[in-house]
Amino acid sequence: MTVLGIDIGGSGIKGAPVDVTTGTLTEERYRVETPQPSNVDRVVAAVAEVAKRFGESDRIGITYPGVVLDGVTKTAANVHKSWRDAPAADLLAAAVGCPVTVLNDADAAGVAEMRFGAGRDRRGVVIMLTFGTGIGSAVFVDGRLVPNTELGHLELHGHEAERRASDRAREVHDLSWSDWARRVEAYLRHLEDLFWPDLMIIGGGVSKRSEKFLPHIDIRTRVVPAELQNNAGIVGAALTAAGEVHQ
Ligand code: BGC
């Protein structure tokens, strides 16, 4: 069975076939720019282009950077507003010509990280956070996902956390790594006081530069960088589409 994972992000749409037993990509991933504006029609066409690159697939898992309920995209914090209440799974399945599963991007990354990365074999409460354009979250209880948590939108000191502590905020406000780490630390403290997790995993593009900020973060909970980095969303989406995820 050929299973693709496709990750819809704010700047790029990336996909590759995945070996779901090992969590590895079986071909080099293919990336196209996310159309701007990122309205439904244009993004669906771009996803179809990525899918076509790999020939026929049996199933495709697709991530979306917002809440997804039963294949319908409900929110659109960092993409075009036409995604609110769009029947994404139906539109995408029609465009790619095979069954698809659509899930939140951070949930997908978390699923991959729990299976093959920093959360492997971890029981208890694990919170995976992705720092990128926004802040995404995935919460696991004994390895089982609580879908669609939106912890990046928690309010902290009167601001939405992702406006102050995402990787984009670091760039936009031209923050040093230590200044950004202080904001992340305040955010993680708030989360640990609310959830009392056993482990926090830091994912997203920043995870490969964890030595720049993790040493500045001193909280009660154990915090580790994600291990799958860039491909976590693709792998998690494929695992979910293949029915490999305990739901
Ligand atoms: C969205 C989340 C998403 C995160 C990362 C947030 O703005 O609300 O659903 O997971 O960005 O893309």
Q: What is the DSSP string of 82-144?
A: GGTTB-HHHHHHHHHTS-EEEEEHHHHHHHHHHHHSTTTT--SEEEEEEESSSEEEEEEETTE
Q: How confident is the model at residue 244 (pLDDT cuts 50, 70, 90)?
A: confident
> Please, what is the Cα angle at 83 between 81 and 89, to 5 degrees?
175
Query: Is residue 67 within 8 Å of 84, Cβ to Cβ?
Result: no
Name, in order, each residue with C-beta under 8 angstroms of 17's C-beta and a sequence gap of 6 or more.
Answer: 2, 3, 4, 25, 26, 27, 54, 57, 238
- How long a stretch of residues is the chain? 247
Closest CA to 191 of 146, 147, 128, 144: 128
Task: Tell me the C-alpha distance between 47 and 34, whole Å.
Answer: 9
Radius of gyration of the chain (CA): 17
Does the beta carbon of 8 lie inside 6 Å of ligand 1? Answer: no
Protein residue whose Cα sits closest to atom 1 of ligand 1 = 66
Dist CA 233 CA 23 (whole Å): 11
Q: Whose CA is nearest to atom 12 of ligand 1?
A: 65
CA dihedral 152, 103, 229, 211 (to 10 degrees): 10
pLDDT the model gives residue 230: 82
Ligand 1 proximity of 160 Cβ (cutoff 6 Å): no
- Parallel, antiparallel, or unpaired: how do β-strands 59-64 and 100-104 relate? parallel
Instruction: Classify domain 3-107+231-241 by CATH architecture.
Output: 2-Layer Sandwich (3.30)
At 101-124, the pLDDT tens digits run 999 999 999 999 999 999 999 999
Q: Indicate the domain borders of the chain.
A: 3-107+231-241, 122-227
Tokens of 107: 């949930």
- Ligand 1 center–CA 77 separation, angstroms: 7
Residue pair 129/202 in contact by the 8 Å Cβ criterion:
yes
Q: For residue range 64-106, list pLDDT tens digits in order.
A: 999 999 999 999 999 999 999 999 999 999 999 999 999 999 9
Which atom of ligand 1 is closest in space to residue 106's alpha carbon?
A: 10
- Residue 73's pLDDT is 98
Structure confidence by residue, pLDDT tens digits, 131-186: 999 999 999 999 999 999 999 999 988 999 999 999 999 999 999 999 999 999 99
- Please state the atom number of ligand 1 nearest to the C-alpha of residue 162: 7
Q: What's the gap in Å between 168 CA and the centre of ligand 1?
A: 12
Q: How confident is the model over 16-47, as pLDDT tens digits? A: 999 999 999 999 999 999 999 999 999 999 99
**Dihedrals phi, psi of 44, to nearest 5 degrees:** -60, -45
Would the CATH topology of 3-107+231-241 be identical to that of 122-227? yes
Angstrom distance (rounded) from CA 236 to CA 36: 26
Contact partners, residue 234, CB within 8 Å, separation at least 6: 5, 6, 7, 14, 15, 16, 18, 25, 29, 63, 108, 112
Contact 3, 244 (CB under 8 A): no
- What residue's CA is closest to ligand 1, atom 6? 134
* Domain 122-227 fold: Nucleotidyltransferase; domain 5 (3.30.420)
What's the pTM?
0.97
Mutate to test the pocket of ligand 1, among 146, 162, 168, 207 (most ligand atoms within 8 A of CB): 162
